[in-house]
Chains A and B, each alone.
Chain A
Amino acid sequence: MEELANLFHGFAVALQPYNVMLMVVGIMLGVIIGVLPGLGGANGVAILLPLTFSMPPTSAIIMLSCIYWGALFGGAITSILFNIPGEPWSVATTFDGYPMAQQGKPGEALTAAFTSSFVGALFAVAMITLVAPLVASFALRFGPAEKFAVYFLAFCSFVGLSKEPPFKTIAAMMIGFALAAVGLDSITGQLRLTFGITELLNGFDFLIAVIGLFGIGEILLTMEDGLSFRGGNAKINLRVVLQTWKELPTYWMTSLRSCLIGCWMGVTPAGATPASFMSYGIAKRLARNGKNFGKGEIEGVIAPETAAHAAGTSALLPMLSLGVPGSPTAAVLLGGLLIWGLQPGPMLFVEQKEFVWGLIASMYLGNLAGLLVVLTCVPIFAAILRVPFSIIAPLILVLCAIGAYSVHNSTFDVMLMLVFGVLGYLLKKCNYPLAPLVLAIVLGDKAEEAFRQSLLGSQGSLGVFFSNGLVSTIMVLGLVALFWSAIQEGYSRLRTAVA
């Protein structure tokens, strides 16, 4: 019951007028970020992070997490109205959302998408409220070996679950680890990998990498198709909303299934994008009118949106309770915690109760505010899309430069951002995943520290990672995740051989 009291205290924090204002501002900014090409949840939050340096941490995290919710909502608008997914996780929403809009039912599609997003998020937040304190109190007993095992599991799940070729995932991830290692070694205080370049003394900041890889890289990808950008109209009125809401409960089974898929994929760091595809695929197979999927079936909008939002939200569970972010955006939020002087991980629940529960309460309120904002303001957001790309693009590039500069007040970082941008363009075109790269930069130092401390304790024997039941279990889970695609293939071969 202590949790309930904490949660109510959290609501009191989140409902302070200043925080409510930040919540609404965050949602608005987030939807705009989600709608615009080249600005997504991760780099949008990264660019705006410097603005929060002077705020109290609780207010800062409320605003930044609301930007994230806004971006999750915003992705659906462009997918449905223009067949342009504003975010990778809303690609699956275009399959049925855009045909619905073409058949003159954009209002229904948007209402279904927003409401499903809300339902998915609510489910995930409820799960976080119940599960996160338990995970955190459990994780308080972790030693360095267990900590390393958790990182190991997180990174192995990337390799096993991502749809990119496994060795490309490994290459991308290892680049991230290498970049994280540059600069001062935190244990020995020795400099490494700097090759005498003074700018590299402090290493690579992952915020610069995020802004470059996701922001600049995305703009360059969009530029391939030139500057033409089609616009359209959107209308949504109360009658359509109410009518759609009346229809939605009949698909409760799809919603529940998508919530579960989303939460699972969000907690393991597979993320919102695979969750939305998986949920769409399963709904298509199981739905009564599955063969109509792709032609404008409302269920085909509900499934991916619910899962994407549930995954995006539950990605914060491991970040809060273990200090391991479940998505690039969660990683940026984790970076924020470090900058505000908070140590992410289980101790947060003990030492920073107000912060944690204020954040969790703001997730409930933020998503409710988000639903209201997007339902009422769709025409405004759609109008933003009619601003031509040749105006939007330079403005976004300037914003990225400002964001990169203000992390450390360094113009070198701005140049680095452009290098990361070109790199991001190349890697993305060649099918290398960017999320593990970013997460490795964030977690590299911590993973290495845990690894070296464990080895120190065991005098260099790797047996320390299998020395007790807990650490062995996590390591074995990691290995299973690492070889998951091979296991799956072997299983299906075995089945065909038997049959």
Chain B
Amino acid sequence: MTAPRSDTAGPSHKAVETGVALLIAAFGIIVIIGSLKAGINWGAEGPRAGFFPFYIGMSIVAASAINLWSALHDHDDRLFAEWGQLRQVMSVVVPTAIYVGSMPFVGLYVASIIFIGWFMRWLGGYRWLPTVAVALGMPIATYLVFERWFLVPLPKGPVEEWLGL
């Protein structure tokens, strides 16, 4: 993936396809190792815990090998996506990762308010008023529907504790 960073270039489909096949094969190897640890032969109670997953792992590796072979022999020079498109995708993945990662510490509500606000203000380019309205409105509606009406508890942080919710 040495293509220049312009908006019409990007990683080739072939490269990504190869990478995904290798990734799946690696997963298959992990499954095989785990199964071997659990035991793949017959015990007192019949086939042991690793018996079934061992063959599953083998099939994953075998299927990925064939997929890898056909990816490498594919004369397909389409792009997987342009760098600009991938940047768009990453502009969602990265904040979502931060959002998800901060949830155990600040709770779902505060994280959601910041996340929605950030998304609308910086990606959507909205004014402050609609941004604040949606960013506050959605978590409040969520609180009413989930915690009050359907009694489903959601993760809370220090702010909710301070508010006594």
Contact = CB atoms under 8 A, between A and B. Distances in A.
Interface residues of B, number: 70
Contacts, number: 180
A238 B17 CA distance: 51
Given A165-B70, A178-B56, A390-B119, A411 B104 contact: yes
Interface in B113-131: 115-116, 119-120, 123-126
B53 A455 contact: no
Given A178-B57, A456-B46, A390 B63 contact: no
A460 B42 contact: yes
B89 to A, nearest CB: 5
Nearest to A457: B46
Contacts of A414: 100, 103
B100 A192 contact: no
If over half of B's interface residues share one DSSP class (helix, strand or loop), that class is named, otherwise mixed; here it is helix
Nearest to B24: A171
B74 to A, nearest CB: 11
A460 B103 CA distance: 48
A190 B31 CA distance: 16
Interface of A: 50-51, 53-54, 165, 167-168, 170-171, 174-175, 177-178, 181, 185, 187-188, 190-195, 216, 219-220, 223-227, 388, 390-391, 393-395, 397-398, 401-402, 405-406, 409, 411, 414-415, 417-418, 421-422, 425-427, 429-430, 432, 448, 451-452, 455-456, 460
Contacts of B134: 391, 395
Contacts of A391: 120, 124, 126, 134
Contacts of B89: 220, 223-224, 425
A interface secondary structure, majority: helix
B59 to A, nearest CB: 5
A171 B63 contact: yes
Contacts of B72: none
Nearest to B59: A174
A409 B153 contact: yes
- Interface centre among A170, A171, A192, A415, by most chain B C-beta atoms within 10 angstroms, is A171
A188 B45 CA distance: 7
Contacts of B100: 401, 411, 414-415, 417-418
A441 to B, nearest CB: 12
Given A398-B112, A452-B52, A460-B42, A405 B154 contact: yes
B126 A192 contact: no
A72 to B, nearest CB: 24
Contact of B97 (A187, A418, A427): A418
B115 A398 contact: yes
A398 B116 contact: yes
A397 B56 contact: no
27 contacts: A50-B152, A51-B145, A165-B70, A170-B63, A171-B60, A177-B56, A178-B27, A178-B60, A187-B45, A191-B49, A192-B35, A192-B49, A192-B53, A193-B38, A216-B96, A223-B88, A224-B86, A227-B123, A394-B116, A395-B134, A397-B92, A401-B103, A401-B112, A405-B103, A405-B155, A452-B52, A460-B42
In the complex, the 3 A-B pairs of residues with the closest C-beta atoms, listed nearest first: A390-B124, A193-B34, A394-B119
B73 to A, nearest CB: 13
Contacts of A226: 88
Contacts of B152: 50-51, 53, 406
B104 A223 contact: no
Contacts of A409: 153, 155
Contacts of A193: 31, 34-35, 38, 53
Interface in B77-98: 80-81, 85-86, 88-89, 91-93, 96-97
A286 B59 CA distance: 41
Given A216-B96, A418-B96, A427 B20 contact: yes
Contacts of B66: 167
Given A406-B152, A418-B97, A192 B50 contact: yes
A84 to B, nearest CB: 17
Interface in B9-59: 16-17, 20, 24, 27-28, 31, 34-35, 37-39, 42-43, 45-53, 56-57, 59
